[in-house]
């Protein structure tokens, strides 16, 4: 599965009143692995940034004056995001700006080009209700260093969000077996009983690709805990037990 972690910087907060995109960054994930195939543009918006926005991103009109217009990068951007699932923090903001920019050129909106959008801000609010869920707050919560982030930048923020997204989605939330269906209870307060002896459960061995993905996930866990994860330890113990038999 191809995913793109995307972020933009803009001249202000409202695309409908003339604010424009000045920077866009995309970081590619394939099967939850960073590929290094990223996309990054500075864009000349043809106008000054609002003072508040300038204080956030630091991209001056002078710096952007020799950069390409959005029209010059629009087709490359569209082709890069085509079919991919987009991962964005506060997605309506970035998607809204891109939709306005594409509309000015008579091009399709984002949802008609990409393969869907995940809003990590919505996900974070569900995971951590009542807490701060800015990108900086999530980096701190998941132990992701953002010490080098003094100003907002689209590519840097996309790289940080990629790490946050992988940390947020690393755990498996539930294991559910639906094949058993619902069993009637024998009375109030009695849990349903299942005749396990009658079940014929197939044994499916992991493929080489699945094993590779499994060990890649363990590597990510080791990195997150800055040591050896419990799953890696359990694997070693199981191997030792099997060897002793």
Tell me the pairing of strands 2-10 and 21-30: antiparallel
Q: Is 152 noted as a catalytic residue in this protein?
A: yes
As a whole number of Å, the CA-based R_g of the chain is: 23
Task: Give exposure, 166-198, as e/b (b: 16+ Cβ within 10 Å).
Answer: bbbeeeeeeeeeeeeeeeeeeeeeeeeeeeeee
Question: Does residue 159 contact residue 28 with C-beta atoms inside 8 Å?
Answer: no
What the block records as the tokens of 153 is 């930048």
Q: Which of 57, 89, 148, 152 is catalytic?
A: 152
CA distances (Å), origin 28, targets 80, 202, 213: 10, 36, 17
Please, what sign has the CA dihedral across residues 151, 155, 160, 161?
A: positive
What the block records as the tokens of 158 is 């996309």
- The residues annotated with a catalytic role in the active site are 152
């Amino acid at each position: 599965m191809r995913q793109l972690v995307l972020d933009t910087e803009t001249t202000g907060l409202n695309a409908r009143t003339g604010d424009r995109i000045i920077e866009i960054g995309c970081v590619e994930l394939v099967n939850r692995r960073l590929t290094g195939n990223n996309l990054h543009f500075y864009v000349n918006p043809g106008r000054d940034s609002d003072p508040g926005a300038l204080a956030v991103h630091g991209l001056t009109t002078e710096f952007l004056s020799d950069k390409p217009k959005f029209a010059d990068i629009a087709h490359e951007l569209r082709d890069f995001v085509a079919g991919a699932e987009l991962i964005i923090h506060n997605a309506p903001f970035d998607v809204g700006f891109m939709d306005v920019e594409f509309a000015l050129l008579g091009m399709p909106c984002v949802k008609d080009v990409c393969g869907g959008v995940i809003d990590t801000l919505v996900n974070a609010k569900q995971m951590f209700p009542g807490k701060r869920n800015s990108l900086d707050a999530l980096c701190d919560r998941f132990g992701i260093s953002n010490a080098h982030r003094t100003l907002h930048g689209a590519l840097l923020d996309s790289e940080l969000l990629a790490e946050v997204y992988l940390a947020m989605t690393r755990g498996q939330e539930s294991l559910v077996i639906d094949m058993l269906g619902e069993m009637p209870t024998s009375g109030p307060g009695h849990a349903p009983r299942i005749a396990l002896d009658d079940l014929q459960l197939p044994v499916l061995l992991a493929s080489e690709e699945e094993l590779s993905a499994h060990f890649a996930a363990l590597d990510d866990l080791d990195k997150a805990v800055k040591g050896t994860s419990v799953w890696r330890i359990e694997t070693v113990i199981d191997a030792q037990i099997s060897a002793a038999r």
